[in-house]
């Protein structure tokens, strides 16, 4: 017989993996920044990764048009035919790959695609190789599904982060079901070079391991070029590709993305979608379709601006003694290494980030948010704010370190 051990029936009856889950730290810091701003502090948030430009005007017009046309009904769980066709044509145009419309699933953002892909693949006890540091959702979802994350640390060289293929191979066991790849990479800005990407894909395939490839930053590439898992000739055999309009089209709150996989897998994922959210709102898919069909000419200007911010922020950061910062090739984050400063000041990365918020109103994220392999040395700074704000955030950051140093000098 069931015995109520606590003072709430429902809390004691929650699924165990769910009791261990909490709202992603990136969102908690977003809330923190919002609260601080509401209390009158002039906050500079370099925390959450959310583009600061707006989607093109014609996308907003398309949304209005869809509403005027009354596109409010249930539609196919897999996505409307025209949305799937638009994705297929976009991938052909931008990546040069042939993806058929029935190999596409519309999802409410890449996050949902990641969850559903992993849900479809994992049985309890299955292992998932994750390059560490990583987008924290991967850790949470694998855990909630009863899988085990096997982190493989990225190597930090003097001016780049790299994936060590030998370390990936060493992490493979009989229980490895999935490798999650993410390029361009959050939080380091690494762009996995084509040869490495192809080797990783080959290694996975040889071992019968599925690749879940999260490519949401694919158009934010400042140096080198993006290589997709869809460039592998056999992708249908072992890949699930996830992307969204959140970053490239600055449509984070619209919740629209897409998964690509072989047709039979998409059919199963559609059945899952059907049981979770039935379908995406047709008016959102209509506007998204217009965005995809209109191409990325307008995005060149965005990319130029983001590159300018990257260069300016990097050069400012590198002026601070004790900081090492790899040049990000893609995405929109800087991931400076603070290990020297932290040991000089006797602070943990968590304390540093907290003090920076409290004393200077600058929100950044500690590497502990992105790592289960023990990265306690970095912070992530998003360059998704206008240049003046970015430079002022960096000036406050520099003052903060100077002040801590002089306080420490006085204590000595």
Ligand X SMILES: Cc1ncc(COP(=O)(O)O)c(C=O)c1O
Of the pair 196, 246, the CB lying nearest ligand X is at 246
Helix (H) or strand (E) holding 249: none
β-bridge mates for residue 382, sequence order:
333
Q: Is 368 in the site for ligand X (CB under 6 A)?
A: no
Instruction: Pick from 227, 246, 337, 368 the residue near ligand X by CB under 6 A.
Output: 246
| Interface region with ligand X, contact rule CB under 6 A, candidates 31-39, 103-111, 263-271, 390-398 | 103-111
133 to 172: interface string for ligand X, x by CB under 6 A: --x-------------------------------------
Give the residue with the Cβ less far from ligand X, 248 or 337: 248
Closest to ligand X by CB, 51 vs 147, is 51
* Cβ neighbours, 10 Å, residue 341: 20
Closest C-alpha to 197, from 225, 177, 236: 225
Q: Closest CB to ligand X among 360 and 364? A: 364
Smaller CB separation from ligand X, 291 or 341: 291
> With CB under 6 A, what is the number of residues at the site for ligand X?
13
Among 182, 227, 228, 248, the residue binding ligand X under the rule CB under 6 A is 182
| Cα 125 off chain centre by | 25
- Strands 333-334 and 379-382, sheet pairing: antiparallel
- Window of 108-116, 190-198, 371-379, 402-410 that interacts with ligand X by CB under 6 A: 108-116
The least distance separating ligand X from the CB of residue 378, rounded to whole angstroms, comes to: 16
Identify which of residues 143 and 324 has a Cβ nearer to ligand X in the complex: 143
Question: Token digits for 187?
Answer: 């939080």
List, as one string, the DSSP characters of 104-137. Answer: EEEESSHHHHHHHHHHHH--TT-EEEEEES--TH
> Which of 43, 47, 49, 383 is in the footprint of ligand X by CB under 6 A?
49
Of 165, 181, 166, the residue nearest 128 (C-alpha)? 181
Q: What is the smallest separation between the CB atom of 280 and ligand X, expressed in angstroms? A: 12
Q: Applying CB under 6 A, which of residues 257, 282, 328, 336 lies at the interface with ligand X?
A: 257
Q: How many CB atoms lie within 10 A of CB 93?
A: 13
Q: Per the structure block, which two tokens stand in for 296?
A: 């990325």
341 vs 381, beta carbon nearer ligand X: 381
Query: Which pairs from 403-406 meet CB under 8 Å and 24+ separation?
Result: 403/359, 404/345, 404/347, 404/355, 405/344, 405/345
Q: Which of 77, 186, 196, 337 binds ligand X (CB under 6 A)?
A: 186
The CA-atom distances, in angstroms, between 347 and each of 295, 378, 407 are 47, 12, 13
Contact segment (CB under 6 A) with ligand X among 191-199, 227-235, 244-252, 361-369 equals 244-252
User: What minimum distance in Å lies between the beta carbon of 174 and ligand X?
Assistant: 28
3-state secondary structure (DSSP) of residue 240: strand
The pairing of strands 257-260 and 104-107 is antiparallel
DSSP state of 252: G
Q: Does 213 bind ligand X (CB under 6 A)?
A: no
> Counting beta carbons within 10 angstroms of the beta carbon of residue 121, is it exposed (0 to 12), middle (13 to 18) or buried (19 or more)?
middle
Of the residues 110, 149, 201, 273, which one makes contact with ligand X according to CB under 6 A: 110
Selected binder of ligand X within 44, 86, 130, 216 (CB under 6 A):
216
Sign of the CA dihedral running 368, 371, 376, 377: negative
Residue 252 as a binder of ligand X (CB under 6 A): the answer is yes
* Chain residues that interact with ligand X, rule: CB under 6 A: 49, 109-111, 135, 182, 186, 214, 216, 244, 246, 252, 257
């Amino acid at each position: 017989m069931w015995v109520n051990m606590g003072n709430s029936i429902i809390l004691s009856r929650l699924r165990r993996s769910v009791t261990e889950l909490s709202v992603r730290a990136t969102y908690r810091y977003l809330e923190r920044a919002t609260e601080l701003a509401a209390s009158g502090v002039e906050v500079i948030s370099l925390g959450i990764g959310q583009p600061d430009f707006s989607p093109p005007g014609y996308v907003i017009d398309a949304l209005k048009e869809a509403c005027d046309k009354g596109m409010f009904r249930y539609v196919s769980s897999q996505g409307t035919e025209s949305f799937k066709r638009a994705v297929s044509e976009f991938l052909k145009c931008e990546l040069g790959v042939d993806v058929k419309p029935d190999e596409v699933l519309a999802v409410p953002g890449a996050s949902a695609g990641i969850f559903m892909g992993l849900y479809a693949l994992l049985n309890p006890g299955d292992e998932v190789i994750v390059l560490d540091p990583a987008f924290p959702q991967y850790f949470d979802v694998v855990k909630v599904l009863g899988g085990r994350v096997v982190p493989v640390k990225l190597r930090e060289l003097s001016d780049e982060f790299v994936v060590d293929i030998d370390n990936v191979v060493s992490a493979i066991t009989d229980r490895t079901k999935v490798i999650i790849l993410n390029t361009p990479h959050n939080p380091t800005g690494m762009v996995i070079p084509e040869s490495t990407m192809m080797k990783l894909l080959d290694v996975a395939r040889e071992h019968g391991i599925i690749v879940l490839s999260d490519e949401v930053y694919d158009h934010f590439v400042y140096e080198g070029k993006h290589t997709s898992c869809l460039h592998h000739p056999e992708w249908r055999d072992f890949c699930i590709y996830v992307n969204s309009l959140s970053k490239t089209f600055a449509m984070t709150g619209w919740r629209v993305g897409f998964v690509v996989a072989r047709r039979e897998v998409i059919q199963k994922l559609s059945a899952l979608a059907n049981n979770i959210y039935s379908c995406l709102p047709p008016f959102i898919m209509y506007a998204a379709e217009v965005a995809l069909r209109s191409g990325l000419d307008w995005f060149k200007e965005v990319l130029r601006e983001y590159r300018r911010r990257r260069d300016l922020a990097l050069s400012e950061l590198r002026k601070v003694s004790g900081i090492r910062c790899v040049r990000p090739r893609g995405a929109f984050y800087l991931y400076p290494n603070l290990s020297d400063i932290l040991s000089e000041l006797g602070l943990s990365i968590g304390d540093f980030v907290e003090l920076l918020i409290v004393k200077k109103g600058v929100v950044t994220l500690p590497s502990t948010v992105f790592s289960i392999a023990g990265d306690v040395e970095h912070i992530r700074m998003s360059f998704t704010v206008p240049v003046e704000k970015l430079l002022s955030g960096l000036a406050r950051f520099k003052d903060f370190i100077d002040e801590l140093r002089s306080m420490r000098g006085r204590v000595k």
